[in-house]
Amino acid sequence: MKANTNYIAKLIHKLFRGQANEEERSSIEHWKKSDQKNEDLIDSFRDSKNIERDLIFFAELDEDEAWRKVGRAPKIKKIDFRSFGRVAAASIVLFGLVLFYLRDKKVIDSDKTAINKVIKKDILPAQSGALLLLADGSVVPLESSVKTLHPEVVVGETKEAIEAAVQSEESQTEYNTLVVPKGHFYKLNLEDGTQVWVNANSQLKFPTKFDKSERRVVLEGEAYFEVSHDIKRPFYVESRGNEVKVLGTHFNINAYSTNVRTTLSSGRVQVSNSGELLFLEPGEYTKFAGGKLSKGKADLEHDLSWHNNQFYFKKETIVEISSTLSKWYDINVKFKKDVALDKVYTGNFKRDVKLSEVLEMLTYVCNLTFELNGKELTIENK
C-alpha cells in the first residue's frame, strides 16, 4: 500500500513532538526503510537545533488578517508574518520539511552598517530550490541532478527546472506536489510541455499524467504559467475558489490571500468564481475580492515584476512591502512605535540582491529605520 503524504506528515509531526505511539513509530520506521531519502529526511530533522520552531514555521501568511490587524493596531504595532497561518497541521509540517533541505548557508556574515539601520547578519536573495512530494509519500529534494524516482515517474532537473514525465499506463490519477518555501523559487516543466515559475512560499499540486480530456493543477501562493497549446485539452488552474481555463497562453496568478488576482500576458483566459464568469484579453486582470469577481486594465510591469526578477512597489504600504520581503528573504518582520502602516511608497529595483541593499534603498524613500538581527527585521520611525 502506498503511503499517504498527509498521513506521513502527521506522523513526523507527532514523532518530533514526542506524541507518537508505538504503532505510529513503527509506521515511521517502515516508511524510513522503504527509501534512503526518507531516512535522510528524518536525520535532517534530528540535526536541526530548532525543531519545534521549524515544525510550526510555514503556517501560511494570511495578508487579509494582517490588514484587519492594521485597522485596529495600537500605538505599538507588531506583525509577525508567521502568526497568520490557517493551514492544517499536516501542511505546516510539509512546509517545515522543505526548510531542512534548503535552509543551510542562507545567512552570511556581514560587518557593513548601512544608513539608518543596523545589519548584524546579511541575507541572500531567494535561491532556486524546492521539494517534490510524490503521490506515494516519498519526498524528493530537487537538486542539480537527474533522478529516476519510480518506474512511472522520471524527474530530469537542472538548476532552475525539472521535467516530469510519466511512463505508467495506470488509469487512476495520482498527484505530486511541488513545495517552494520562503527564500526560494522554482521553475517546473510539466509533462505536457507547460512551464510554471513558482514563487516563494507557494505550492503547486499536479497529476503525474494529465487526463485525456483536460489538464488541471491546484495552486497556493503565486506562479506564472506558460501553457502549452492543446485545443483538445483545456488547462485549468484552481486557486482558493478561483478557476482559470486556458488552451495555451501566458498568465500570472497571485493567490497568497483570498483576494485572488489573475493577470494575462498573452492569449485569452476564462476566469470563474462563485458562479461569476469573466474573459480576459492580454493586458487585463481579474480580482476576486469581497465576494465579487471584477476585471480591469493591468499594469504588467507591476503584476509580472517577480517573474522578471524585479521588486516593483507601486503605491504600496510598508505592510505590503514587508510581506513581499518576508517571503523572498525568509524573514520575520516587526513594527515598533508609531509606524504609519497606511502610508504608501513607490520603488523599483532588482530582486537578486542581498537584503541589506534593499533596506538601504528603502531608507531613501521611507522615513523609517531597519534593524536586522538574524532573521528578524524590526522597523521603526527615524
Confidence of residue 256 (pLDDT cuts 50, 70, 90): very high
What pLDDT, on a 0 to 100 scale, did the predictor assign at position 42? 67
What pLDDT, on a 0 to 100 scale, did the predictor assign at position 139? 87
**DSSP for 86-119?**
-S-HHHHHHHHHHHHHH-TT-EEE-----TTEEE
Confidence of residue 171 (pLDDT cuts 50, 70, 90): low
Count of Cβ atoms closer than 10 Å to residue 243 Cβ = 15
**Could you give the 3-state DSSP secondary structure of residue 28?**
helix
What pLDDT, on a 0 to 100 scale, did the predictor assign at position 20? 67
Q: Is 72 exposed, middle or buried (0-12, 13-18, 19+ CB in 10 A)?
A: exposed
Count of Cβ atoms closer than 10 Å to residue 30 Cβ = 11
Q: What is the mean pLDDT of residues 238-266?
A: 94
Query: Residue 175 above 80 pLDDT?
Result: yes
Q: What is the mean pLDDT of residues 319-331?
A: 95
What pLDDT, on a 0 to 100 scale, did the predictor assign at position 45? 54
> Which CATH entry fits the domain spanning 127-303: 1.10.10.410, 2.60.120.10, 2.60.120.1440, 3.40.190.10?
2.60.120.1440
Cα-flanking dihedrals φ and ψ of residue 333, to 5°? -120, 135
Taking only the tens place, the pLDDT of each residue in 63-116 is 444 444 444 433 333 333 333 333 333 343 444 444 444 443 343 333 334 433
What pLDDT, on a 0 to 100 scale, did the predictor assign at position 87? 35
Checking phi first, is residue 283 left (phi over 0); if not, alpha (psi -120 to 50) or beta?
left
Question: Strands 269-273 and 242-246: what pairing?
Answer: antiparallel
Query: Residue 358 above 50 pLDDT?
Result: yes
Confidence of residue 382 (pLDDT cuts 50, 70, 90): confident
- Within the chain, where are the H helices? 5-16, 22-33, 36-47, 51-57, 63-71, 89-102, 300-303, 318-329, 355-363
Confidence of residue 30 (pLDDT cuts 50, 70, 90): confident
Kindly report, as residue ranges, where domains of CATH 2.60.120.1440 are found in the chain.
127-303
342 or 7, greater pLDDT? 342
Kindly report, as residue ranges, where domains of CATH 3.55.50.30 are found in the chain.
108-124+309-381
CB distance 216 to 226 below 8 Å: no
Crossing angle of helices 5-16 and 22-33, in 10° steps, is 120
Q: Which of 91-95, 139-143, 251-255, 337-341 has the lowest mean pLDDT?
A: 91-95
Q: What is the mean pLDDT of residues 198-218?
A: 94
Q: What is the CATH number of domain 108-124+309-381?
A: 3.55.50.30
**Could you give the 3-state DSSP secondary structure of residue 33?**
helix
Q: What is the pTM of this model?
A: 0.67
What pLDDT, on a 0 to 100 scale, did the predictor assign at position 58? 29
154 or 299, greater pLDDT? 299
- Nearest to residue 30, comparing CAs of 135, 137, 151? 137
Q: Which of 238-247, 324-333, 342-351 has the lowest mean pLDDT?
A: 342-351
What pLDDT, on a 0 to 100 scale, did the predictor assign at position 174? 85
Longest CA pairwise span in the chain (Å): 64
Average confidence score pLDDT of the chain: 75
311 or 14, greater pLDDT? 311
**Could you give the 3-state DSSP secondary structure of residue 210?**
coil
Query: Residue 238 above 50 pLDDT?
Result: yes
